Amino acid sequence: MPCVASRSAPVLFLQANMNPTINELVVYTPAEDFAISKRFYAALGFELTEAWGGTMDCRLGGAVFRLQNYYVKDWAENFMMKFDVDDVQAWHEHAKRVIDDGSYSNARYDEPEIIGDTKICHVWDPCGVLLIFVQ
């Protein structure tokens, strides 16, 4: 089925068996105090690089999200990111060390739990974003 185009643009056809792909998904994540959130994610081991419009890309392994200097309480406290990891216990111990140092007043964590064959660790960042580590 042809796509409609202007006179100056070529007409493109999408073959029935051709599926468009996505190379990367980057979600925009809230931060109540941008400086504290940047320090928190860096302390967890994410590599922070400047992105568009004063945001920061946070990368670790195959995960990437864009931290933004924007906060709405209801949104932040209902925002979740799930990370598939090799060792939930190691992430729990790492997050515990980072949070227990006291620099991230609202950050917290729960003890890991096992549900069926799945180990899960919940960590909340300084503005209430839930990080779910799953093994």
**7 lies in a domain?**
no
Our count of domains for the chain comes to: 1
**18 lies in a domain?**
no
**14 lies in a domain?**
no
**96 lies in a domain?**
yes
Range(s) of the domain holding residue 45: 27-134
Nearest of 100, 110, 131, 134 to residue 29 by alpha carbon: 131
Q: How confident is the model at residue 102 (pLDDT cuts 50, 70, 90)?
A: confident
Give the per-residue pLDDT at 73.
97
Digit-coded pLDDT (tens) for 34-49: 999 999 999 999 999 9
- What is the residue type of 116? G
| Residue found by looking up tokens 């105090």 in the block | 33
Secondary-structure breakdown of the chain: helix, strand, coil percentages, each rounded to the nearest 5:
25, 30, 45
Give the per-residue pLDDT at 18.
79
CATH number for 106: 3.10.180.10
Give the per-residue pLDDT at 10.
59
**62 lies in a domain?**
yes
**35 lies in a domain?**
yes
* Global confidence as pTM: 0.84
CB 119 within 8 A of CB 134: yes
**3 lies in a domain?**
no
Sequence-ordered alpha helix ranges (H) in 18-82: 34-44, 73-76
**124 lies in a domain?**
yes
